[in-house]
């Protein structure tokens, strides 16, 4: 499959116009966004993934034992045999980590930061299948890969929007339809955060949902302060040197709060600490158990490269980098980081931007001890794999 250029993917508008006028603002329907789309996997192959223990999957029945019944995988073949002929949906998370052809779809969105992309969820729906009217707190592109699905767009929602009483699904109790379209294979719909949407399968269909990571403000505050707390000494404490005598001993005055505020502000102004935490947080893998340490004999890496074997990025690994000042480089890999000299930037970009790096490109770094150490460490952690070892 040939991936579309950004102007085709976005229906004839440039990434700059899309980010200015649509991103996190309003929906966009794009006909023939993937004009040469080949369905990356069949319904049977998707069902096969849902049988696997390490794969996160769900089935939603519009009218099951209860309205909007939710069943969680892994499933068995018998589970699928007992499903009705219509009005149910199978959802499988992070299919991009298990099917390379699905991971390739993400490459079409290279005008967006790769560390913002969460995963590609794929849903299969029998005729009439749906997961109900709902909204997401993140951006999503809904790419139709098989069959037809009718999408209805509704109102803007927030955490005050009323929901049906349901222990597992966040289904809106009130949906105000404003637009609707039927999507066919290759068509795509962009939905910003907070916009209600409701999809119903016109016939047997499949949809690829490319979702984006967006940590909540409570999550940012909680995890960043936890990160900071690991590096602060117990001797660093609240101080009120030079205060005036108390006239009301039980009162907490404004000066005390201002001292406390200055402590907090000083900590959060540490841009390097914030960037380090953010890079680690945004590269935390969805399934860390799929990234396993590997044993690597001394000199084995160079021997394999000289034999023509390249390196493959573990499909579960998330990578990002940041230039910190003029001579320091931070590489983030699967929730951890290391500090590198900026001279390694071309190698780091090669690692972060490609799923496969051939031996010739890597051998150009064979005389750089720091480069070789970095590659060996990523191999030992399981973030990179030797060609052939990923099979």
In the chain the beta strands, taken as DSSP E runs, fall at 28-30, 57-63, 67-72, 88-92, 117-125, 140-146, 149-156, 179-183, 188-191, 195-201, 205-212, 311-313, 319-324, 328-333, 336-341, 356-357, 384-386
Q: Give mean pLDDT, residues 87-106.
A: 97
Contacts of 319 (CB under 8 A, 6+ apart): 114, 283, 313, 331, 332, 333, 334, 351, 352, 383
Per-residue model confidence (pLDDT) at position 389: 64
pLDDT tens-digit series, residues 324-366: 877 889 999 999 999 999 999 999 999 999 999 999 999 999 9
Per-residue model confidence (pLDDT) at position 44: 97
Lowest mean pLDDT among 222-231, 369-378, 382-391: 382-391
User: End-to-end distance of the chain based on CA atoms, in angstroms?
Assistant: 22
* pLDDT over 70 (residue 151): yes
**Domains in the chain and their CATH numbers?**
6-212 (2.60.120.650), 288-386 (3.40.366.30)
* pLDDT over 60 (residue 50): yes
Q: pLDDT-based confidence at 391, cuts 50/70/90?
A: low
pLDDT tens-digit series, residues 244-266: 898 999 999 999 999 999 999 99
What DSSP string runs through 306-335? HTT--EEE-TT--EEEEEETTTEEEEEETT
Q: What is the pTM of this model?
A: 0.93
* pLDDT over 80 (residue 87): yes
Residue 109 Cα to chain centre, angstroms? 13
Per-residue model confidence (pLDDT) at position 9: 96
Mean pLDDT of the chain: 95
- Strands ordered across the beta sheet of 319-324: 319-324, 328-333, 336-341
pLDDT tens-digit series, residues 56-75: 999 999 999 899 999 999 99
What DSSP string runs through 268-283? HT-HHHHHHHHHHHHT
């Amino acid at each position: 499959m040939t991936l579309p250029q950004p102007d085709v993917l976005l229906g004839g508008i440039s990434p700059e116009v899309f980010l200015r006028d649509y991103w996190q603002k309003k929906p966009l329907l794009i006909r023939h966004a993937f004009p040469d789309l080949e369905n990356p996997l069949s319904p049977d192959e998707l069902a096969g993934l849902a049988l696997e223990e390490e794969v996160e999957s769900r089935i939603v029945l519009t009218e099951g034992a209860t309205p909007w019944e939710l069943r969680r995988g892994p499933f068995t073949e018998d589970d699928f045999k007992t499903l009705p002929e219509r009005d149910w949906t199978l959802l499988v998370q992070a299919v991009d980590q298990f099917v390379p052809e699905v991971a390739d779809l993400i490459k079409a969105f290279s005008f967006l930061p790769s560390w913002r992309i969460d995963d590609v969820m794929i849903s299969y729906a029998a005729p009439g299948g749906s997961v109900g009217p709902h909204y997401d707190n993140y951006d999503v592109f809904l790419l139709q890969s098989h069959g037809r699905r009718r999408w209805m767009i509704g109102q803007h929602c927030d955490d005050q929007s009323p929901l049906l009483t349901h222990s597992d699904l966040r289904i809106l109790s009130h949906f105000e339809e404003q637009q609707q379209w039927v999507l066919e294979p290759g068509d795509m719909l962009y939905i910003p955060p907070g916009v209600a949407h409701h999809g119903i399968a016109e016939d047997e269909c499949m949809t690829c949902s490319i979702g984006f990571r967006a940590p909540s403000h409570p999550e940012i505050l909680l995890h960043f302060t936890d990160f900071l707390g690991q590096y602060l000494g117990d001797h660093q404490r609240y101080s009120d040197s030079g205060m005036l005598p108390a006239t009301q001993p039980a009162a907490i005055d404004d000066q005390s709060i201002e001292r406390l505020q200055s402590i907090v502000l000083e900590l959060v102004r540490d841009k390097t600490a914030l960037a380090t935490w953010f890079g680690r947080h945004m590269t935390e893998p969805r399934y860390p158990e799929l990234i396993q340490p590997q044993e690597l004999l001394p000199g084995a890496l160079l021997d394999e490269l000289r034999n023509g074997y390249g390196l493959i990025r573990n499909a579960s690994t998330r990578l990002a980098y940041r230039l910190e000042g003029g001579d320091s480089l931070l590489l983030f890999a699967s929730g951890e980081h290391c500090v590198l000299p900026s001279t390694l930037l071309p190698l780091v970009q090669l690692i972060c931007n490609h799923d496969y790096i051939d031996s010739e490109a890597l051998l150009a770094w064979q005389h750089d001890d720091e480069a070789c150490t970095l590659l060996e460490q990523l191999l030992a952690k399981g973030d990179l794999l030797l060609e052939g070892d990923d099979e």
